[in-house]
Each structure stands twice: as C-alpha cells, then as structure tokens.
Amino acid sequence: MIGAGLAGLSAAVRLASAGRAVIVHESARHAGGRCRSYFEPALELVIDNGNHLLLSGNHAAIGFLKMIGSEGKLTGPREAEFAFADLATGRRWRLRPNHGRLPWWILSKTRRVPATRALDYLTLARLLTARHDQTIAEVMDCTGPLYERLWRPVLLAALNADPREASARLAGAVVRESLARGGAACRPLVAADGLGAAFVDPALAYLHRRGAVVRFGRQLQGLDLAEDRVRALDFGEDVVELTRDDVVILAVPAWVGAALVPELTAPKRFRAILNAHFAISPPPGLPPMLGVVNAMTEWLFSFPDRMSVTVSAADRFSETPREQLARATWSEIAALTGIDAAMPRWQIIKERRATFAALPEEDARRPDARTRWRNLVLAGDWTATGLPATIEGAIRSGNRAADMVSTAQSC
C-alpha cells in the first residue's frame, strides 16, 4: 500500500479485516493526507486542515467508521436540516427535507428556500440524466433565488468548482445520493472532535491490532515495471523487491500517480480550498454549520473552541495576503453572529490543489482502478469513482481497490 490518506487507509482496513497481510508506506510523518487533525500553534488548538461535511447517506464513509469503531465520533441533527443566512439582506432560513423519498417538503414554505416555488425544485431532476460532456449550466438554469440560495452553495461545496462550468454528471451523482433519496440520506454530519479522532487514529489502531505495518517517511521514488507486473518499489534509500503474490495499491495524489505510472491518464487541473480558523467559542444558538450567500464566507462551522470558515474554488485568493483574508472573513463572522470583539487568534490554510477540477473534461481523465499491470491497482478520490473528490469518494475507491486485490489473490 502506497499512501495513508483516506483511500489508502480504507483499502488497508478492508484488507486487514479479511486477514490479508498489509504494509502501508506513507511519505509524510502522519496519516490522513488531506483529512487530518493537527495542533496549530497560532491558535493553540487542535484543528482540522480542512472542514469536511458528511451526509447520513454516505454509506461507505459510515461503514468505514463502523468497522474501525468510531461511528459515534460523528454528530448532527436527528433530521435533515440546513441553516442559511444572506449576509446582504440579513435574511435567514432553514432547508428541511422530509425523511422519505417523496419530496412533499417542497410544498411547504417553511421548509424550502424563501422566494421559491415548489415547481422550481423539479428542474434539479435534469441533472440525473445529464451526459458526461455537459456542464451544469447546459442542463439547468443557473440564475434566480433557488440557484443563488441553494443550488450554487451546495454544488460549489460538493464539486469545488463554479457550478456553471462544473460537470453535470457529477452534480447528478451528488443529487442522486442525497436529495433524491430523501431527508434520511441528507442529515449533515461533522466530526466534532476532529477528523483525526474520527477517521485516522482509530484506523491506525485498527490496523495495528490486526498486525498491519504502517511506515512513515517513505517517499516512493519509482516503480520497477516489467512486462505485466510491478517487480519492485524504489524508495531511494532502499528497494523493496516484490514476490509474485504481492499486489501494490497506489493511493497517492493524481500528480504523483501520473509521475510514477507511465502513460497514466489523470486529471491535470485542480482547484483550491481556503479555510479560516478563529480561536473563539461560538455564541449560543449558532448552528453547527451555516451556509452563507452574498459573502466571501460560504460555510461557517462552529466547534466548542473555535469557528471556521470554508471557501471553495478559492483560486482567486491564491495571492491575497493571509491577514487580509483573516480580517475579511472575521468581519463577516462578526456580522453573522453579532460578536463585538477584536479579531481573535487566527490561522489561514490555503490548499492549492485540494481537489481535481470537477469539469467534464477533467472528469473524463479519471482512470479506472485497474491498470495494465496485473499487480498494480489505483485508489484515490481522483480515480473514476463516479463521485466528486469527497471523503465518500476516497473511501469507495479504497474499498474497490481492496476488493480487486482480494479477488486477484483468491484466483
């Protein structure tokens, strides 16, 4: 196993649970990849490197947490509910899909977006039959209150790309597994104690209990590829020769995979995500997650000891000074919460290549898990999962890679 991000960890856990011998090589000094927690000295707090939302319908992610014994680390409302605020007008509302598949909630003014009609919501069904080469703007109207107050913020967060240019097929996959399945699949869930406590630390403990080996600081330099198999792993300081029974799961970022595997077709364009963290407790009554429109802030997450802002498709801020970003987001937090205080300790995290760009042409470049080398399998949210680059997609890719290994070894 090369890589201990969520794709690699999920593959390793699945194989270890089946009694397979597992060795994980990770280039960093920690596991989790883009989904991890760490102590931030500027805040004097443990934070996540990015804010991640799961839904109750994310069956692979929840199944992974059940297997490693940390399902209880996710918290959320008993029913599907999403709070929103318009910073320009001060208006607030809550989207509340009903539990079942029949969407009667769109008939209720108190459950749907203000200034929208029930018929407006039916346009979303067009995404379910979209072609691979279509953008969202080619399939549905990207104007009006419903788009600006719901579809744009939700699809922007899910795809990490401007919805007007993003893949309609990937948007349809998000809708198919959430709203199309009813509120039972749409309850928002967050790891209140951190991503590390929910996804990473329990996974490493699970692997340790089952005899798996995890080696950190192991940067793979190259693959010795000959005929139809990988013969060795080159780590620079040493080379690991593989037996005829060994299988390699390459669970690394897209650009690393493209550099290691000849002629691999993989996404080439990526999008940034910006997160702003502030060491201050949220005021009473603030929802755990607040969607914001007409602001730089897109989602405001509230934790017991901090508040965090997430901005997707944030390439436009790549050259903006960090303190300027902190002051801008703090100003919006103050307006949204009524906090009358100087800006607290803060930290800005810019992840320049957070996800592949979820455009039709980049989606078409995503490779299958299977390669032409019979003992080399790919995993990662950038592979052809059918989903955008999400936690759910990463874990599904790891599960699929592990299943392919198990099938190959049992033949």
Question: H helices of 103-200, where?
Answer: 145-146, 152-159, 168-176, 195
CA distances 44 to 129, 280, 282, 301, 350, Å, are: 48, 11, 17, 18, 19
Judge contact between 31 and 12, C-beta under 8 A.
no
Judge contact between 380 and 397, C-beta under 8 A.
yes
Question: H helices of 216-321, where?
Answer: 254-260
Judge contact between 282 and 45, C-beta under 8 A.
no
**pLDDT (average), residues 34-40:** 93
The pTM of the full predicted model, rounded to 2 decimals, is: 0.95
Q: Quick: pLDDT tens for 272-308.
A: 999 999 999 999 999 999 999 999 999 999 999 999 9
Q: Which domains does the chain have, with CATH numbers?
A: 6-37+58-75+191-267+359-410 (3.50.50.60), 82-186 (no CATH), 270-356 (3.90.660.10)
- Determine the Cα–Cα distance for residues 144 and 254; give it in Å rounded to an integer: 36
Q: What is the pLDDT of residue 292?
A: 98
Quick count: other Cβ atoms within 10 Å of Cβ 235? Answer: 18
**How many residues are present in the chain?**
411
Judge contact between 103 and 121, C-beta under 8 A.
yes
**C-alpha gyration radius of the chain:** 22
Q: Quick: pLDDT tens for 92-107.
A: 999 999 999 999 999 9
Q: Is the pLDDT of residue 350 over 90?
A: yes
Mapped onto helix, strand or coil, the DSSP state of residue 374 is coil
**Residue 219 DSSP one-character state:** -
Instruction: Quote the percentage of the chain above a pLDDT of 70.
Output: 99
Q: Is the pLDDT of residue 411 over 50?
A: no
List, in order, residues 6 or more apart from 304 with CB less than 8 Å away. 192, 281
Q: Quick: pLDDT tens for 229-273.
A: 999 999 998 999 999 999 999 999 999 999 999 999 999 999 999
Angle 233-234-236 (CA atoms, 0-180°, nearest 5)? 155
